[in-house]
Amino acid sequence: MALRDILILPDKRLRLVSEPVKKIDTDVKKLVEDMFETMYDAPGIGLAAIQVGVARRIITMDLSKKDEDKERRVFINPEIVWSSDEKDVHEEGCLSIPEYYEDVERPAQVRVKYLDLHGREHALEASGLLAICLQHEIDHTNGVLFIDHISKLKRDRITKKFSKAAKRAVEG
C-alpha cells in the first residue's frame, strides 16, 4: 500500500470523466488499497480514484465513526439508477477542496448499482450520509465537484481563491 497525492482544485484532472473499469485485476485492487490508505490519512470518508489522478470509476468509502470498527466499502463503476424527488441539505466538504464547506441540496435517497472487488453486481438503496456521500463521489467520476451545486458567485469565489493559492505555491 502507498499514500498517493490528492489532487487539489484547480487541477484540471478533477474535471475529467472517469473511464469504466473493464477488468478487476491486481492493479485495480492495489489502487483500491492505496485509496483507502490515502483516504484514512487525509482523513476523509470517501475518495474517488480521479482524486488521486486515476481516471477510473472507482470509489472507496468508510462512514464509520472513530471509535467503531472500520466499514470499508468499494464501489466499482457505480451508477445512480434512481433518485428521490425529496431533497436534503447537508454540509459537504471535499479532500480536493480542503477546509471549505458548504450546504448542498441533493436527492434524499438514491439507488445505486455497482460492482464489488470480486466483480459481483450489487444494488443499494441509500439515504442520509451514505446517499450524500455516494452522490458526491459519483459526481467526481463524472468530473463534477460539490461546488458545482452551489451558487455561481460562491463557486467563482472559491475557485479564484484556490487558483491564487496554486499560483503562489508554484511561484514559491
Q: Is the separation of the CB atoms in 104 and 150 below 8 Å?
A: yes
In a 10 Å sphere around its CB, with 0-12 CB exposed, 13-18 middle and 19+ buried, how is residue 68 labelled?
Answer: exposed
**What residues are annotated to the active site?**
137
Query: How many angstroms separate the CA atoms of 127 and 116, rounded?
Result: 20
Query: How many angstroms separate the CA atoms of 169 and 90, rounded?
Result: 31
Q: Is the separation of the CB atoms in 139 and 146 below 8 Å?
A: yes
H/E element holding 132?
helix 128-141
Tell me if residue 5 falls in helix, strand or coil: coil
